[in-house]
Structure 1
Amino acid sequence: MKFYNLNFHKENKNFSQVLKIGLGKNQGLFFPMNLPKLNNKIIQDLLDLNFIDRSSYIISLFLNEKEILLETLKTKIQKAFNFPLLLKLIDKNIACLELFYGPTLAFKDFGVRFMAQMLNFFNKKSKIIILTATSGDTGAAVAHAFYNMKNIEVIILYPYKKISILQEKLFCTLGDNIKTIAIKGNFDDCQKLIKQVLNDKELKKELCLNSANSINISRLIAQICYYFEAYAQIPLNQRKKKIIISVPSGNFGNLTAGLIAKTIGLPIYKFIAATNINDTIPRYLKKGYWKPKKTISTLSNAMDVSIPNNWPRVIEIFNKNNWNLKKLESNSITDIQTTETIKNVYNKYKYILEPHSAVSFCALKSQIFKKDTFNIFLGTAHPAKFQDYIYNTLNQKIILPSILINCMKKKNLSHILSNNFSNLKEFLIKNYII
Structure 2
Amino acid sequence: MKFYNLEDYNEQVSFSQAVKQGMGTKQGLFFPLELPEFSPSNIYDMLEMDFFSCSSKILSTYIGNEIPSYHISEIVKKSFSFPISFVEISDNIGCFELFHGPTLAFKDFGGRFMANILSYILKPNEKITILTATSGDTGAAVAHAFYNMNNIRVVILYPRGKISPLQEKLFCTLGGNIETISIDGSFDSCQALVKEAFNDKKLKNIINLNSANSINISRLLAQICYYFQAIKYIPKEKRNKVVLSVPSGNFGNLTAGLLAKTLGLPVKRFIAATNLNDTVSRFLINKKWQPKTTITTLSNAMDISQPNNWPRIEELFRRKLWCLNDLTCDSVSDENTKFSIRQLAEIGYISEPHAAIAYSLLRDKLQKGEYGLFLGTAHPAKFKENVEKILGYPLFIPKELANRIKLPLMSNYLKADFPKLRDFLLNRI
1:390 to 382, 387, 392: 387
Give the superposition deviation at 1:71: 0.9
2:353 to 352, 355, 363: 355
Identity of aligned residues (%): 54
Deviations, residues 293-342 of structure 1 (Å, cap 9, x unaligned): 00011100000000000000000110111000111110100101100111
Amino acid at match of 1:414: S
> Which residue number in structure 2 is paired with residue 131 of structure 1?
131
Are 1:180 and 2:177 matched, yes or no? no
**Equivalent runs, 1:218-367 vs 2, <5 Å:** 218-240=218-240, 242-347=241-346, 349-367=347-365
Give the secondary structure class of the aligned counterpart of 1:149. Answer: coil
> Which residue number in structure 2 is paired with residue 144 of structure 1?
144
Question: Contact 2:27/2:199 (CA < 8 Å) preserved in 1?
Answer: yes
> Which residue number in structure 1 is paired with residue 56 of structure 2?
56
Deviations, residues 242-273 of structure 1 (Å, cap 9, x unaligned): 11001000000000000000011001000010
How far, CA to CA, are the matches of 2:205 and 2:402 in structure 1? 42
Give the secondary structure class of the aligned counterpart of 1:49. Answer: coil
How far, CA to CA, are the matches of 2:272 and 2:300 in structure 1? 16
How far, CA to CA, are the matches of 1:280 and 1:223 in structure 2? 23
> Which residue number in structure 2 is paired with residue 158 of structure 1?
158
Task: Give RMSD over aligned pairs.
Answer: 0.9
> Which residue number in structure 1 is paired with residue 14 of structure 2?
14
Question: Contact 2:244/2:269 (CA < 8 Å) preserved in 1?
Answer: yes
**Equivalent runs, 1:74-89 vs 2, <5 Å:** 74-89=73-88
How far, CA to CA, are the matches of 1:6 and 1:217 in structure 2? 12
Q: TM-score, normalised by structure 1?
A: 0.97
Give the superposition deviation at 1:238: 2.9
Are 1:33 and 2:38 matched, yes or no? no
Give the superposition deviation at 1:409: 1.6
Give the secondary structure class of the aligned counterpart of 2:179. Answer: strand
Question: Contact 2:207/2:426 (CA < 8 Å) preserved in 1?
Answer: no
Give the superposition deviation at 1:366: 2.1
Give the secondary structure class of the aligned counterpart of 1:4. Answer: strand
How far, CA to CA, are the matches of 2:21 and 2:321 in structure 1? 30
Question: Contact 1:93/1:238 (CA < 8 Å) preserved in 2?
Answer: no
Give the superposition deviation at 1:118: 0.1
Which of structure 1's runs of 4+ aligned residues deviate more than 6 A? none
Gaps of 5+ in 1: none
Q: How many residues align?
A: 428
Give the secondary structure class of the aligned counterpart of 2:62. Answer: coil
> Which residue number in structure 2 is paired with residue 419 of structure 1?
416
Question: Contact 2:239/2:267 (CA < 8 Å) preserved in 1?
Answer: no
How far, CA to CA, are the matches of 1:142 and 1:232 in structure 2? 28
Give the superposition deviation at 1:92: 1.2
Question: Contact 1:87/1:234 (CA < 8 Å) preserved in 2?
Answer: no
Are 1:376 and 2:373 matched, yes or no? yes
How far, CA to CA, are the matches of 1:371 and 1:27 in structure 2? 43
How far, CA to CA, are the matches of 1:177 and 1:391 in structure 2? 34
Amino acid at match of 1:388: E
Give the superposition deviation at 1:73: 0.8
Give the secondary structure class of the aligned counterpart of 2:63. Answer: coil
Deviations, residues 24-77 of structure 1 (Å, cap 9, x unaligned): 011100000011011100000000000000000000011122x21111110111
Q: TM-score, normalised by structure 2?
A: 0.98
Deviations, residues 78-115 of structure 1 (Å, cap 9, x unaligned): 01000011121111110001000000000000011000
Amino acid at match of 2:316: I
> Which residue number in structure 2 is paired with residue 2 of structure 1?
2
Give the secondary structure class of the aligned counterpart of 1:100. Answer: coil
